[in-house]
Amino acid sequence: MPVSLRKIDDTNRTAVLALRVAPEQEQFVGGTVHNALADAQAYPHANPWFRAIYAEDVLVGFVMLSWNVVPDPPVIIGPWFLWKLLIDTRYQRKGYGQTAVRLIADIVRAEGGTELFTSYVEGEGEPWPFYQRLGFRKNGERDNNNEQILVLKL
């Protein structure tokens, strides 16, 4: 099914805010889209860029990047950092998360980026196998929250 990234506006904002992961997954993504948008407001210097993820015309998830930011590790990782990614629990394990990351990689590459960073919280059900399968590797560093930093060469 074709996956696309669309802007969040008055037509879809309520539905985007209603996206949910399983309760035990909230630790990996910092809670809800509401929390992510609050983070975006709290850290404008991290240059947040976000989109809703659609499969055909069905809203399935949310993604947020640090867009071409000046890196200041271990607080700001970049220039291109996959900050939040969530696929609603109803639509997980259908390939949408993987396709969304590939679309993000295409966008970053088109902007001249050569690396896409992310990080993850360790624990039961952690997303490391998901990122590993996409080609991300541990770079051996951690951020200021002790999260493992991962990098995908573009």
Ligand X SMILES: CC(C)(COP(=O)(O)OP(=O)(O)OC[C@H]1O[C@@H](n2cnc3c(N)ncnc32)[C@H](O)[C@@H]1OP(=O)(O)O)[C@@H](O)C(=O)NCCC(=O)NCCS
Closest contact distance (angstroms) between CB of 26 and ligand X is: 8
* Binding of residue 84 to ligand X (CB under 6 A): yes
* Binding of residue 151 to ligand X (CB under 6 A): no
Strand partners, 4: 54
* Binding of residue 133 to ligand X (CB under 6 A): yes
* Binding of residue 4 to ligand X (CB under 6 A): no
The vertex-96 CA angle with 91 and 99, nearest 5°, equals: 175
Closest contact distance (angstroms) between CB of 121 and ligand X is: 7
Strand partners, 147: none
The smaller minimum CB distance to ligand X, of residues 69 and 131, is found at 131
Strand partners, 34: none
Strand partners, 153: 115
Cα–Cα dist 65/22, whole Å:
22
Q: Which of residues 111-130 bind ligand X (CB under 6 A)?
A: 120, 125, 127, 129-130
CB hemisphere CA count around 46 (13 angstroms): 23
Binding site for ligand X (CB under 6 A): 21, 25, 28-29, 84-87, 92-98, 120, 125, 127, 129-130, 133
